[in-house]
Amino acid sequence: MPAVQLNKKVPDFSAESTGGTFRLSDHKGKNVVIYFYPKDNTSGCTLEGQNFRDNIAKFRRNKTVVVGVSRDSLASHEKFRTEQAFPFELISDKDEALCKLFDVIKEKNMYGKKVMGIERSTFLIDASGKLRREWRKVKVDGHVDEVLEAVRELNRANP
């Protein structure tokens, strides 16, 4: 399956999440924000999740679902989600199917070693299932505010 492209329909997918099976098609009629992060319980990933958590009411008011994705296990996700009181699901992508679909596995430097890992990235899919925005090499500070503003712009353009 080729990687997603801006302004093109995202292929329907299903993946195991903390809330059972997450299917993109189940959210037709709503915007979907999918954020990929490297690892549960690490400082940047925790802060990013907390920022989405703290703004979830604003996303919901803007008819938008938020979901996080990493390669961690469901057990790890359940613990992380509970500890941080995340009001959204976390998808376990152990086989990297979603990571490949969204092309987020990149070579990274970890303590001087080259490793393949998730490049922090966020994607905004509109209510019709088209990819409208993508953010790659995300820096956590201010990112959620930028995503929320993009959601608002999208809703203004497509009332």
Residue numbers annotated as active site: 45
SS3 65: strand
User: Is 105 within 8 Å of 118 (Cβ atoms)?
Assistant: yes
Name the residue among 120, 157, 111 with its Cα closest to residue 138: 120
User: Is 131 within 8 Å of 13 (Cβ atoms)?
Assistant: no
Task: Report how far residue 39's alpha carbon sits from residue 37's, in angstroms, rounded to the nearest whole number.
Answer: 6
Task: Report how far residue 113's alpha carbon sits from residue 98's, in angstroms, rounded to the nearest whole number.
Answer: 25
Q: Give me the phi and psi of 126, to 5 degrees please.
A: -80, 175
How much is the CA Rg of the chain, to the nearest whole Å? 15
Neighbouring residues of 3: CB distance < 8 A, sequence distance ≥ 6: 100, 101, 102, 103
